[in-house]
Amino acid sequence: MEKGNPYIPIPVKVERIRVESDDKTLRSFDLSFCNPKQRFDFLPGQFCQLSVLSKGEAPFGIASSPTEEKFLRFTVNRVGVVTTALHYLKEGEIIGLRGPLGNYYPVDKFKGKNVVIIGGGFAFTTLRSLAVYIFAHRNDFNEVSIIYGARRPGLLLYRDELAEWEKRDDVNLYLTVDREFPGWDKRVGFVPTVTKEVKPSPVDAYAVVCGPPIMIKWTTDNDKIYPPGSI
Ligand SMILES: Cc1cc2nc3c(=O)[nH]c(=O)nc-3n(C[C@H](O)[C@H](O)[C@H](O)COP(=O)(O)OP(=O)(O)OC[C@H]3O[C@@H](n4cnc5c(N)ncnc54)[C@H](O)[C@@H]3O)c2cc1C
């Protein structure tokens, strides 16, 4: 595998587009390298810059796992110029990508430990990368818990995969939405509240939290979830 310059965009092909949310504001793009020699190593948590000619470039977390070698996945929330241009792409089109950039989750430190993954909204992208990576090396990790919430069921990403993960007996998966919805028979409540309810053990554990700042604030406020003296 070549070690390319992450500051030079390389061409990637849109192999598969998938609408993730019921309001169509979230789409996932599976990209392949036009030149397989330009494939690069990365770890869960890193991001890339995606560019569309004459529109610009923007950063997106890598939603696929390094263990999924056939494609790189990005899930894009449509908010402005670049994200709208990405949403208008068709399968087969070529865009620019540079990366991998940024820090990664220290997966080596997680080995032999319990791992708690806590996500809210579409920030779940790099947490999916982490979860799939952990599943691919499942024996390296101890107990794995995932708490993932969205405002409503139609905004939960990767719903088919979540349904598969629910069937696994080697992960504790807790899905939640902000309020009751017809047909929703799982948890209801904000992510910090559900974290407090299910109370994953902090003993010998690493927690990875990614979501809106307010969710992170109340989730990592340990005094609320684990009152002093309780652990
Ligand atoms: C490390 C990192 C990772 C990220 N990962 C992801 C990811 O995985 N998925 C994802 O969806 N996003 C991700 N983001 C956010 C993403 O990069 C931004 O949403 C993106 O840069 C927006 O680009 P844009 O050109 O579409 O928006 P812009 O056109 O630059 O607009 C940005 C904001 O300004 C507002 N705006 C635009 N035009 C106007 C106007 N005329 N008046 C008022 N407001 C306006 C838009 O509504 C929008 O909220 C990440 C960001 C970072 C830094």
Q: What CATH number belongs to 107-225?
A: 3.40.50.80
CA of 83 to the centre of ligand 1 (A): 7
Mutate to test the pocket of ligand 1, among 29, 60, 103 (most ligand atoms within 8 A of CB): 60
Return the residue whose CA atom lies nearest to atom 27 of ligand 1.
80
For residues 158-171, one letter each, b for 16 or more C-beta atoms within 10 angstroms of the residue's C-beta and e for the rest, the string is beeebeebeeeeeb
Q: Indicate the pTM of the whole model.
A: 0.93
Determine the Cα–Cα distance for residues 185 and 121; give it in Å rounded to an integer.
19
Q: Which amino acid is at 17?
A: I
d(Cα 131, Cα 182) in Å, to the nearest integer?
Answer: 28
- The string of pLDDT tens digits covering residues 103-112 is 999 999 999 9
Q: Which CATH superfamily is domain 10-100 in?
A: Translation factors (2.40.30.10)
Helix axes 191-198 and 213-220, enclosed angle (nearest 10):
20
- What is the per-residue pLDDT across 184-226, written as a single tens digit (0 to 9) for each? 999 999 999 999 999 998 889 999 999 999 999 998 875 656 6
Task: Report helix, strand or coil for 151.
Answer: coil
- The distance in angstroms from the start CA to the end CA of the chain is 46
Parse the chain into domains and list their residue ranges. 10-100, 107-225
